[in-house]
Amino acid sequence: MNRINTKLEENKKLLSIYFSAGYPSLNDTVSIIENLEKNGVDMIEIGLPFSDPLADGPTIQKSSTKALQNGMTTELLFQQLKNIRKTVSIPLIIMGYFNPMLQYGVEAFCEKCREIGIDGLIIPDLPIDVYHEEYKTIFEKHGLINVFLITPQTSVERIKFIDSISNGFIYMVSSASVTGGSSGFGDEQTAYFKRISDMKLKNPQIIGFGISNNETFTQATQYAKGAIIGSAFIKHLTHYGVNKIDNFVNRILQK
């Protein structure tokens, strides 16, 4: 069974952390992943830096730009992660835009992911229909779960279609804005969380965007299986580097 599915079966609320590979320093990638697992994080999204990250807010955009300036590439990321499964056992997901994967070759990219132990991909700009018609068989052949995003504006019909072709979790974007844009959830967002929860989809939901502390983590996970934190963690890395990761995670989980 895919590590993502195994993790989703655990009787707990899951914390997933996103960071940009190659930030703050080019060779920090493995150290950050190992530290996050050691401190109780359940899943990690490794951001593949891209020059035009449309869905990302300023914090993640800056970290992505800096990672590219540091020299991060798709090939280098694969090299950095080649022995990651010797030290890390939690699910690892690569989150990135489709263009670098297309340039690398979709089949070759997926094959490399399987080789090093990547469990899934999140590709915000790969249309669901295109994935379903052209790439689904390639992803499945290499044991990769493709995670789709929904927003408050996604139609019920679309959500049901996404649910029908998914086999992991659904990434539930808390609002229609870019990442890092809010602090706390209002009645409208809470109603959206509840509405999706009440649909009783076959795939659990994990909420991302706007989660930065224990309060927002608790609010999000009241109606979902877990929550994803990106911008707040990158701000932490900006201030402290790879030090004090334990402090950040403990603050979210209030351990």
- Residues designated catalytic: 45, 56
CA distance 205 to 207: 6
Residue 22: closest CA among 42, 41, 50: 50
Strand order in the sheet with 149-150: 145-147, 120-122, 92-95, 43-47, 14-20, 226-229, 205-208, 170-173, 149-150
Three-state DSSP state, 173: strand
Instruction: Compute the distance between CA of residue 243 and CA of residue 241 in angstroms, rounded to an integer.
Output: 5
Return d(Cα 223, Cα 208) in angstroms, integer: 13
